[in-house]
Structures are given as C-alpha cells and as structure tokens.
C-alpha cells in the first residue's frame, strides 16, 4: 500500500483551488467601493501645475468643479462629466448633470468607509517597524502599524505574489524622499497595497510610489513624482507635473454600471440586439453598481444617441442617425451593431491601426508586417518622434483600448500608459521603450 504524504493531502485539498488562492498572504483587501473607480478623489479640491498626466477618472465632492484647477476643464452643456487634455478619463463634480451628484457623493462616502476600515484593522504583523523609517527594507505582505509618521529616505521593496495584500496604518505623516522608489517584486501589485494615513502624504520630487493612498488629510506630489495607484484624500490633492495612473487590476476608467432595465434594439441593417440586465466588466478589478437614469439629460443619451452608451437602453431623445454611427464607423460606438452608413475604412481603422479600436477586428488597410509592429532600432523616450512612436501608440491602443492620439509624439500621456503596460507585464516601469520592452510587445502582438 502506498503511503499518503502530507504533500499529497495538500494537493488533494487545494490543488483544484489554484496555487494563487492557497499562497495568498497578508490581510484581506480593503473594499474601496465606488471610490475604486477614481484614480484621484477628494473632498475639497484637486490642483495641478506643469504638464501632468492622469490615467483614470478624477472627482471632487462636496467642493464644486471650480476647486479642480489647472486642468482647463471642458464641460459640454447638460453633461454629467467634463474632460481635460491632461486626463485620460472623466472628471466629475457635484454640480454636473445627473446621475453625477448622487454617484460622486456615494464615492466619497465609500472612500471614508474604506479609510475607517483600513485604520481599524487589528492584529498587526508588526508595529513601529524600523521606528518609522522603512527605507532600505524588504517588506512581506501583512498589516503594519505605526503610532508615529513613516519616512522612506531610501528605496523600499514590497515583495510578494500578485494576490498578496499590504496595509500600512500610519498615525501621522507619510513622506518619501526625492528620487526614491517604492519597488514591487515577485509579482506584487499596486492595486493590493493600501497606505492608510492620518496625516499628510508627500511624494518627493521625481519619486516613484506604488499603492492606494487613503489619506484623512492631504496628498501632495512634488515635481515629477509618479504614482501608480490611487490618491484618495479627505481634503485635497496637489500635483506638479506628475504621472498618476490607475493601478493594474482596477476598475475600468469608465465606471462600471449594472443595468436593471430590459430593451431590444435593431440596427439600421435590420439586425437586433437584446439587452437584459446588461452589466459591463472591468479588467478583473473592483466593480460598482448604479441605477440607470432614464431622463433625456443623462450622460449616455447625449449628442442624439439612439442607444445609451452607458446602459445600452434605448434613448427617448434620439435623432434619426445615432452619434455612434457618425464619422463612417462600421460598427456603432454606442451599440456595437453594424452601421449602414459606413465608409470603406472605419474610424476605428484610421491612422494605420493594426486592429480596429472599436471592434477589435484586424484592419484591412494596415500596410506594415501582418503580425509585427515596427518600433524602430533606437530606444524611444520622452521627446521621441516619428513613425516608430506611431507604431508604439497603435500597439498601446490595441492592448489597452485607451484611444491614444496617433500623433507620433512621445509625451507625458503616452509615457504614463507605457509605464502602466510595463508594470502589468513585469518590466521595469521607466517609460523607456528599449529592446526588452520592444521584444515583449512584439511577442504579445503575435
């Protein structure tokens, strides 16, 4: 008779659950609720100077939109959100059209609840680690508590798997010195890291910070600092030529909505589509649920759309031709159904895209190598220009579907997306596109 080893029992019990489920370490994650749909969320204001790049939604409440400064906001009439050239995402404030006032208020409440949860966790892994100076340490997943402030004067490393969680409870200020880094190793993800700070958080000049900051007071990013995570502050967030990016595994940039209504629609070519209890999904991150609004002024029914771009339900204020079929689109950007007024080349295949940014199908007008992007032979970096940069922007649009402008200019917005992609794929997040990054990109385009 064969012996049954402990290892065999372990496999029989846990094998089908997956190794990641068994080996996940640290405390349970903090539920951000609808606050998780924002990369920056505050109660009193968001300000920026310099050339800042933000990837994700930002919002403020109860302060009004006038307390979002430096972003040159563009607010269409009766819109529920504004936009900014500095933000790849949407900007929300309580004075905007419904359903924003209720949604942004709920998000702030969820932010406060998440802070209370994080600050109230008990049974820490360690207390007063490093006497408040964690520079130079390698920190395993866990719950860490300080009755003082925390400083990071030299690089600190958080080492763990992609499922592991870190929660840092800090009773006073959090400061990371200029040009220093919070480094992730072993697959650790910024989305699973929570800095719960009672005082002010200050990220030094050109420093790199990873994780979600839940701050009871203010968050300040000095010139050139990079944040891969969220800045959720119960007062204000101050920026200065920064790159702030929603972390990998988060909710999508547009908030996720579950629809409770049922509707059947038909496109211009006679096809039909049934939308019953439709819900959109994020890239495996948190999601939120919101109630559909059926007024003519709602966000998803602006610009004469036939079908609501948020809920999929039929709009009552639609015009004969939906916005989703304008510009010669082959497929409606509002419904996904085929348009009858499309031109030979769809909008989603403009600028030489390999894959249609609206449908995901391969474009027939792409003239480069069938399965390869030409990123050139030199390292692409801030200020680079030309066809190789255009190829890079096309690749990022295909993989991340962010709608980058294909202009052949490598600036802050494209660099922020490059850093996000590098982080997601285990590369050094430096925004430089050299041989290693190019090789990985081309392998993924096969």
pLDDT digits (tens, 9 = 90+) for 95-146: 999 999 999 999 999 999 999 999 999 999 999 999 999 999 999 999 999 9
Please state, rounded to an integer, the average pLDDT across all residues of the chain. Answer: 76
Strand partners, 88: 55
Q: Half-sphere exposure of 229 toward its Cβ, with a 13 Å CA cutoff?
A: 28
* Position 377 confidence tier, pLDDT thresholds 50, 70, 90: confident
| Distance between CA atoms of residues 348 and 181, nearest Å | 38
Across 219-233, 297-311, 361-375, 425-439, least confident range = 297-311
Q: Is the separation of the CB atoms in 88 and 1 below 8 Å?
A: no
- Cβ-proximal residues to 355 (8 Å cutoff; 6+ apart), any chain: 361, 362, 363, 398
- The enclosing H or E element of 399 equals helix 387-400
- Strand 150-152, strand 236-240: pairing: unpaired
pLDDT 10s digits, 304-334 = 444 445 544 445 543 323 345 555 454 545 4
pLDDT at position 142: 97
- The enclosing H or E element of 214 equals strand 212-215
Higher pLDDT, residue 344 or 238: 238
* Position 193 confidence tier, pLDDT thresholds 50, 70, 90: very high
- Please compute the mean of the pLDDT values over residues 6-14 and round it to a whole number: 43
Is 9 exposed, middle or buried (CB count within 10 Å of its CB: 0-12, 13-18, 19+)? exposed
Which phi-psi region, left, alpha or beta, contains residue 22 (left: φ > 0; alpha: ψ -120 to 50)? alpha
Instruction: Tell me the CATH architecture of domain 349-444.
Output: Orthogonal Bundle (1.10)
DSSP secondary structure letter of residue 241: S
Q: Is the separation of the CB atoms in 389 and 409 below 8 Å?
A: yes
- Please compute the mean of the pLDDT values over residues 232-252 and round it to a whole number: 88
pLDDT at position 396: 83
Other Cβ atoms within 10 Å of 365 Cβ, number = 11
- Domain edges within the chain: 33-245, 261-343, 349-444
Higher pLDDT, residue 302 or 35: 35
Q: Is the separation of the CB atoms in 334 and 322 below 8 Å?
A: yes
Q: Is the separation of the CB atoms in 431 and 381 below 8 Å?
A: yes
- Please compute the mean of the pLDDT values over residues 222-247 and round it to a whole number: 97
- Please compute the mean of the pLDDT values over residues 257-280 and round it to a whole number: 33
pLDDT at position 357: 54
* % of residues, the chain, pLDDT over 90: 50
Q: Which residue has the tokens 């408040």?
A: 132
Q: Is the pLDDT of residue 278 over 90?
A: no
């Amino acid at each position: 008779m064969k012996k049954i080893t402990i290892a065999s029992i372990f496999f029989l019990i846990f094998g089908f659950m997956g190794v990641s489920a068994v080996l996940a370490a640290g405390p349970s994650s903090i539920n951000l609720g609808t606050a998780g749909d924002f990369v920056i969320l505050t109660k009193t204001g968001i300000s920026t100077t310099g050339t800042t790049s933000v990837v994700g939604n930002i919002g403020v409440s109860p302060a009004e939109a006038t307390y979002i400064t430096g972003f040159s906001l563009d607010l269409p009439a009766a819109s529920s959100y504004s936009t900014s050239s500095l933000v790849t995402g949407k900007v929300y404030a309580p004075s905007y059209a419904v359903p924003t006032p209720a949604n942004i208020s709920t998000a702030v409440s969820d932010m406060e609840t998440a802070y209370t949860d994080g600050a109230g966790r008990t049974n820490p892994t360690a207390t007063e680690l490093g006497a408040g100076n964690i520079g130079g340490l390698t920190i395993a997943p866990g719950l860490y508590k300080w009755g003082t402030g925390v400083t990071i004067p030299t690089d600190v490393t958080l080492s763990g798997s992609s499922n592991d969680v870190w929660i840092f409870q800090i009773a006073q200020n959090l400061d990371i010195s200029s040009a220093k880094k919070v480094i992730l190793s072993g697959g650790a993800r910024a989305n699973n890291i929570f800095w719960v700070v009672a005082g002010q958080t200050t990220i030094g000049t050109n420093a790199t910070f990873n994780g979600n900051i839940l701050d009871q007071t203010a968050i300040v990013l000095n010139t050139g600092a990079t944040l891969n995570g969220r800045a959720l502050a119960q007062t204000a967030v101050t920026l200065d030529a920064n790159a702030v990016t929603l972390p990998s595994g988060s909710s999508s940039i547009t908030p996720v909505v579950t629809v409770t209504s049922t509707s059947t629609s038909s496109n211009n070519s006679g096809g039909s589509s049934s939308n019953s209890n439709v819900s959109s999904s994020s890239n495996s991150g948190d999601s939120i649920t919101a109630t559909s609004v059926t007024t003519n002024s709602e966000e998803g029914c602006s610009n004469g759309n036939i079908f609501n771009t948020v809920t999929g339900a039929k709009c009552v204020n639609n015009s004969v031709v939906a916005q989703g079929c304008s510009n010669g689109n082959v497929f409606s950007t509002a419904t996904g159904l085929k348009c009858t007024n499309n031109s030979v080349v769809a909008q989603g295949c403009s600028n030489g895209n390999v894959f249609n940014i609206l449908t995901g199908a391969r474009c027939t007008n792409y003239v480069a190598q069938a399965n390869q992007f030409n990123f050139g032979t030199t390292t692409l970096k801030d200020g680079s220009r030309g066809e190789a940069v255009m190829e890079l922007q096309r690749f990022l649009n295909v993989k991340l579907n962010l709608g980058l402008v294909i202009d052949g200019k490598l600036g802050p917005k494209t660099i922020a997306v490059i850093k996000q992609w590098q982080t997601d794929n285990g590369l050094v997040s430096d925004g430089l596109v050299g041989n290693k990054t190019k090789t990985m990109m081309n392998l993924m385009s096969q």
